[in-house]
Amino acid sequence: MTDLTEKDSPATGQPSPLMTDIARYIADHAEETLSLSALSRKFGRSPAHLQKSFKQVHGLSPREYQNALRLKNLKRALKAGDDISGAIYQAGYGSISRVYEQIDGRIGMTPSAYRAGGRGEEIAYATRDTALGPVIMAATDRGVCFVHFGEDRAILRDNLSKEYPQADIVPSPAAHSPELDLWIEALDDHISRNRPLPDIPLHLNGTAFQMRVWRFLMSIPEGEVKSYSDVAQGIGASKAFRAAATACAANNIAVLVPCHRVLRQDGTPGGYRWGLDRKRCLIEKERKK
């Protein structure tokens, strides 16, 4: 999950001191009930102005920002081995039923399974050598949740295990996941032989803001590129270009969620967690089609 700190609070120039103060206040009181009207009274702004300004700077409404912090705190507590009910109440959800209403699948599994590092979840994976080097693809029963490039298949497998340390991670031959073998073959065909990008079901796991960014990325036509500012504008958070860049960097599903199609404002590649050479190659391949 994105680290919700001042460095991720974008603006055209320097982050707004007031919006930074509000974000810090929410972080310090994330477990409490914070209404928009209460925040507006405390900080001397109308509810409408505060909501609009905060979302422009942070890419989330104050409520969404607080929910993201609560989720982060819950995930930290669960990973630390805290009692499930205690972790839920400590994070500020108020009741066990409300955590299921509000997390909206963003943990990617039930809180008990997440606390156990994915124990009880089955994740099938397959690896291939492609024109861009080794790639691993992994899927739950809901769709592909993990596509990473690397230099070594064993390291790729370790990275998957770190994401889901207690899950039942099984290699696919087809006995475990017949679709997965077809999906990674189709992805390899796209990368190595310029075949069409396959339409594969995805299991996205992220914050509300990250999900908005990733869905926008999937709407960028093949062969086109956008800037981080374009992405922020496209999701209705025009000043949140730095947060958009952070969301791109947090993407766990290479190519299928095409974060490689986003460049800096000056047209330079920017970053890519799987290497700038791969990013340039993917863009060039798509432009030639």
Q: pLDDT, tens digit, for every residue of 173-194?
A: 655 566 788 889 899 999 998 8
The CATH number given to whatever domain includes residue 169 is: 3.30.160.70
CATH number at 23 reads 1.10.10.60
> How many domains, the chain?
3
Q: Phi/psi at 188 (nearest 5 deg)? A: -65, -40
Same domain, 62 and 139: no
The residues of the chain scoring below 70 in pLDDT are 1-15, 74-121, 173-178, 289
pTM as predicted:
0.62
Kindly state whether residue 116 falls inside one of the protein's structural domains.
Answer: no
The predicted-structure confidence for 154-165, as pLDDT tens digits, reads as follows 999 999 998 888
Identify whether 198 is part of a domain.
Answer: no
Contacts of 80 (CB under 8 A, 6+ apart): none
**Which amino acids are annotated catalytic?**
259
- 3-state helix vs strand vs coil in the chain, percent to 5: 50, 10, 40
126 and 103 in one domain? Answer: no
Same domain flag for 189 and 228: no
In sequence order, the 6+-apart residues with CB closer than 8 A to the CB of 52 are none
Please check whether residues 186 and 212 belong to one and the same domain.
no
Boundary (domain end) residue, out of 41, 73, 107: 107
C-beta contacts of 10-15 below 8 A and 24+ residues apart: 10/57, 10/58, 10/59, 10/232, 10/239, 10/240, 10/241, 10/242, 10/243, 10/244, 11/57, 11/239, 12/239, 15/57
Residues of the chain with pLDDT > 70, as a percent, come to 76
Please give the residue range of the domain that contains residue 259.
208-288
Query: Of 81, 107, 133, which marks where a domain is finished?
Result: 107
Domain CATH for 244:
1.10.10.10
For residue 183, being part of any structural domain is answered with yes
Residues 129 and 155 in one domain: yes
Q: Are 101 and 21 within one domain?
A: yes
In a domain, 219, yes or no: yes
pLDDT at 12: 43
| CB atoms closer than 10 angstroms to residue 38 | 12
